């Protein structure tokens, strides 16, 4: 097997808050080959963004990566100096943040920001850089790119900002892109345009992609594999077809049943009973057990992420049991 | 039945004024112009009490701007807004003031809309306390109640916004809006940042509140499956104009406007795997320089020469249904 682009092993990222330790990411492992698309879905607050931040070395105190390895083409990113990491971040990795304003500086014009991003990593003149910035905006469906380049972020709609942030991530053709809820504010025709560009980049340049989203239908159309997170852990992983059509973990089942298209119009939607527990007071054993329809005494013991079927791993004591 | 909210030819233009250098350049003969965006262009909308109206449209077509005008956050450039028969177009007028609490907005951008230096307790509890809505409860009890309503742990009330995940922050925005007991909610992508199970929880909450409190909603979303689920009626906007309006079932069953058809064609579906996504056909127009005639004509497969020059009006095409397309005219 060729070396994967990214191999995350037993990642642990904790927040040391005044009220206790929040284990935002706990024992997370997955890997991703060149050109591959992984969908990362899961409960709000389950650690998807923090996982992405950990890979990019962007976790700030009180947060800290306290365990595991992040191998990027064989190199453990956790061992790199700040300087080396900055270099990797600019040239090889890119993240599209959930909040586009994390990419965009509110007081700088879009052109300044894009040209800077290009010139930081490639020795090209300003004219060439501007030309590339223009093209990049066109690819994400922003019309009048010349005028738009001269604008400030606040003059853009939410979805336009999101697209600019995507355009910036695509600029340097990175080997790995982590896209965090990148198309939540876009209409489906523009979303299709962006997914088209992203697919092309993965196909043509072998960029590996982690697509963090709650939109299961987008994952269905885009990704090969899917990881489902709950309370800091991956609770299920497998091929998109397997997981979406035949979820084994009770949380994944509940999630998929809440999709509006699986429900009758105007009726109450299926929802998972109970609420997300605070990370500071997770139930002992399986964190989902207090909301789980099939939990029993065994679930007070921590399950392990085990191979339930080929290429399918489940973090549950009773993966085969019917929930109905 | 009369409407609760009524907008007439409501419009918003953003003008970017020239700075000194640009003015000078123009004096010297350079071709620089003020940039004008007609973000919302003469929108007429009637919403009845208890109705849920979905507002869908392309990114940048003016949905948030429309919502912000209705909520009184942004002054209209032209046109009127009536609420319960009173003109509230001027937010500073007594009528505008009175409506300010009753019409609440849940913002698209939970990061930007929550004061980073305030604790949850105050973000949610301050306004109700000031306006005397606590009804004998302590502020903490009231806040705990609100947090629970949106599925957040009451123990979070001492935290600051940055200590929450994206979806959790979005729910804080919902709780804050509900805390002042509004009658009318403008939900701007209110569930876009939520995972589907919590989305289900919040949508169920919206539907419950509608029954219990007879709340009325303008529901802005790009997620067509959500809009289909919760709305009674759907409006489709394109570059500042409403291009189609119909009862939800009709809209999804037989979309009339070519833009609506393009949208429904692209809806992602759980059962469509490994799709080959396609770029937008035709040219994506710019709000800075919108196409003449029908704004959609550069992307429309059916466009004729008339569509290039004349603006199609929103016209009745069936009971309760309107569309702005020349294709509906019998030749
Ligand atoms: N600075 C912080 N201090 C304390 N806890 C934090 C901090 N930042 C994040 N967390 C916690 O870490 C957990 C994981 O957050 P993360 O942002 O990764 O969630 P997510 O899966 O991306 O959720 P969403 O879908 O809502 O964006 C959350 O429970 C959050 O409350
Ligand atoms: N403060 C502003 N100054 C100048 N132009 C603005 C301002 N706010 C919005 N616009 C412009 O008005 C148009 C409509 O923006 P609006 O935010 O209403 O769009 P939207 O339909 O909500 O889009 P999205 O779905 O992406 O959130 C856009 O072209 C935008 O660039
Ligand atoms: Mg997140
Ligand atoms: Mg908007």
Output the residue whose Cα is nearest ligand 2's atom 22.
B64
DSSP structure string for B101-157: HHEEEE-S-HHHHS-TTS-HHHHHHHHHHHTT-STTS-HHHHHHHHHHHTT--GGGG
pLDDT in tens, A49-83: 999 999 999 999 999 999 999 999 999 999 999 99
Q: How many CB atoms lie within 10 A of CB B187?
A: 28
Query: Looking at domain B3-231, which CATH architecture does it have?
Result: 3-Layer(aba) Sandwich (3.40)
Q: Look at residue A184 in the predicted model and tell me its pLDDT.
A: 76
Residues 6+ apart with CB under 8 A from B234: B53, B54, B55, B56, B227, B228, B245, B246, B247, B248, B251
**Which of A271, A272, A278, A280 is the best substitution to test chain B (most B C-beta atoms within 10 A)?**
A271
Which percentage of chain B shows pLDDT scores above 90?
Answer: 56
Asked if B272 and A220 come within 8 Å (Cβ–Cβ), the reply is yes
Q: Taking CA atoms, what residue in B is nearest to A259?
A: B196
Q: Look at residue A179 in the predicted model and tell me its pLDDT.
A: 94
Query: Of A84, A67, A26, A43, which Cα lies nearest the Cα of A230?
Result: A43
DSSP structure string for A24-85: EEEEEEEEE-TT-EEEEEE-TTSSHHHHHHHHHT-PPTTEEEEEEEEEETTEEGGGS-HHHH
Strands (E), B208-282: 216-220, 233-238, 241-247
Question: What would the mean pLDDT of A155-164 be, rounded to a whole number?
Answer: 82
Instruction: With cut-offs at 50, 70 and 90, classify the pLDDT of residue A153.
Output: confident
A286 touches chain B (CB under 8 A): no
Residue B69 has pLDDT above 60, yes or no: yes
Residues with CB under 6 A from ligand 2: A 154-160, 185; B 14, 37, 39, 57, 59-65, 108, 287
The one-character DSSP state at B286 is B
Instruction: With cut-offs at 50, 70 and 90, classify the pLDDT of residue B64.
Output: very high
Which percentage of chain B shows pLDDT scores above 70?
Answer: 94
pLDDT in tens, A17-32: 888 999 999 999 999 9
Interior CA angle at A309 toward A307 and A313, to 5°?
Answer: 35
Output the residue whose Cα is nearest ligand 2's atom 14.
B62
pLDDT in tens, A95-106: 988 777 778 888
pLDDT in tens, B72-93: 999 999 999 999 999 999 988 9
Q: Look at residue B19 in the predicted model and tell me its pLDDT.
A: 67
What are the phi and psi torsion angles at B56 (to 5°)? -125, 150
Q: What is the pTM of this model?
A: 0.87
Instruction: With cut-offs at 50, 70 and 90, classify the pLDDT of residue B107.
Output: confident
Q: Taking CA atoms, what residue in A is nearest to B199?
A: A258
The answer to whether the peptide bond before residue B324 is cis (omega within 30 degrees of 0) is no
**Which of B153, B277, B286 is the best substitution to test chain A (most A C-beta atoms within 10 A)?**
B277
Task: For residue A231, report the distance from its CA to the centre of ligand 1, in Å.
Answer: 10
Instruction: With cut-offs at 50, 70 and 90, classify the pLDDT of residue B155.
Output: confident
Q: Look at residue A213 in the predicted model and tell me its pLDDT.
A: 92
Q: Helices B258-266 & A188-205, crossing angle to 10 degrees?
A: 50
Q: How far is CA B38 from CA A77, A163, B167, in A?
A: 48, 21, 32
The ligand 2 atom at the shortest distance from the C-alpha of residue A161 is 26
Q: Poorest-confidence range of A78-87, A275-284, B117-126?
A: A275-284
Q: Delimit the CATH 3.40.50.300 region(s) of chain B.
A: 3-231
């Amino acid at each position: 097997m060729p070396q994967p682009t990214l191999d995350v092993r037993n990642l642990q990222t904790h927040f040391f808050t005044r009220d206790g330790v929040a284990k935002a990411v706990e024992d997370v492992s997955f890997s991703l080959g060149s050109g591959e698309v992984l969908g990362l879905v899961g409960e709000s607050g389950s650690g998807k963004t923090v996982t992405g931040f950990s890979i990019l070395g962007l976790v700030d105190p009180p947060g800290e990566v306290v365990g595991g390895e992040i191998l990027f083409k064989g190199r453990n990113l956790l061992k790199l100096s700040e300087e080396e990491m900055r270099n990797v971040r600019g040239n090889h990795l890119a993240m599209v943040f959930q909040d586009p304003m994390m990419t965009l500086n509110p007081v700088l014009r879009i052109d300044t920001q894009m040209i800077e991003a290009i010139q930081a990593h490639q020795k090209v003149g300003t004219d060439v850089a501007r030309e590339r910035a223009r093209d990049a905006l066109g690819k994400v469906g922003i019309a009048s790119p010349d005028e738009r380049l001269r604008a400030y972020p606040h003059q853009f709609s939410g979805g336009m900002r999101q697209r600019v942030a995507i355009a910036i991530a695509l600029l340097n053709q990175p080997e790995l892109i982590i896209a965090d809820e990148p198309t939540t504010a876009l209409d489906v025709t523009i979303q299709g345009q962006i997914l088209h560009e992203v697919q092309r980049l993965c196909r043509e340049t072998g960029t590996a992609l982690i697509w963090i989203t709650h939109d299961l239908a987008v994952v269905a159309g885009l990704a090969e594999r899917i990881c489902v997170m709950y309370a800091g852990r991956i609770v299920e992983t497998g091929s998109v077809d397997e997981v979406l059509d035949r979820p084994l973990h009770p949380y994944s089942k509940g999630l998929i049943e809440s999709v509006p298209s699986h429900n009758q119009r105007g009726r109450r939607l299926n929802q998972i009973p109970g609420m997300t527990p605070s990370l500071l007071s997770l139930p002992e054993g399986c964190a989902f057990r207090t909301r789980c329809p099939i939990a029993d005494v065994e679930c007070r013991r921590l399950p392990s992420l085990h191979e339930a079927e080929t290429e399918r791993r489940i973090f549950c004591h009773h993966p085969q049991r019917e929930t109905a | 039945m009369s409407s609760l909210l009524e907008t007439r030819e409501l419009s918003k233009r953003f003008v970017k004024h020239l700075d000194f250098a640009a003015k000078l350049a123009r004096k010297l003969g350079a071709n620089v112009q003020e940039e004008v965006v007609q973000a919302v262009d003469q929108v007429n909308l009637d919403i009845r009490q208890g109705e849920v109206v979905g507002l869908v449209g392309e990114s940048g077509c003016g949905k948030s701007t429309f919502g912000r005008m209705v909520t009184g956050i942004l002054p209209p450039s032209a046109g009127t807004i009536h609420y319960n028969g009173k003109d509230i177009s001027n937010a500073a007028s007594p009528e505008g003031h009175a409506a300010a609490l009753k019409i609440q907005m849940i913002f698209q951008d939970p990061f930007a809309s929550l004061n980073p230096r305030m604790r949850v307790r105050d973000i949610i509890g301050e306004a109700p306390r000031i306006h005397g809505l606590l009804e004998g409860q302590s502020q903490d009890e009231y806040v705990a109640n609100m947090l629970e309503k949106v599925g957040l742990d009451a123990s979070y009330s001492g935290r600051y916004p940055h200590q929450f995940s994206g979806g959790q922050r979005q729910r804080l925005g919902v709780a804050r809006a509900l805390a002042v007991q509004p009658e009318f909610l403008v939900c701007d992508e209110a569930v876009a940042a939520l995972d589907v199970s919590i989305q289900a929880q919040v949508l169920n909450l919206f539907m419950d509140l509608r029954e219990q409190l007879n709340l009325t909603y303008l529901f802005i979303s790009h997620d067509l499956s959500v809009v289909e689920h919760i709305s009674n009626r759907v409006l489709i906007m394109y570059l500042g104009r409403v291009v189609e309006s119909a009862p939800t079932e009709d809209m999804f069953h037989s979309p009339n406007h070519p833009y609506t058809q393009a949208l429904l064609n692209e809806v992602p579906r759980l059962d469509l795997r490994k799709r080959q996504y396609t770029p937008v056909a035709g040219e994506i127009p710019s709000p800075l320089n919108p196409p003449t005639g029908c704004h959609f004509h550069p992307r429309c497969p059916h466009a004729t020469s008339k569509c290039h020059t004349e603006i199609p009006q929103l016209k009745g095409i069936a009971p309760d249904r309107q569309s702005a397309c020349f294709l509906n005219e019998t030749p």
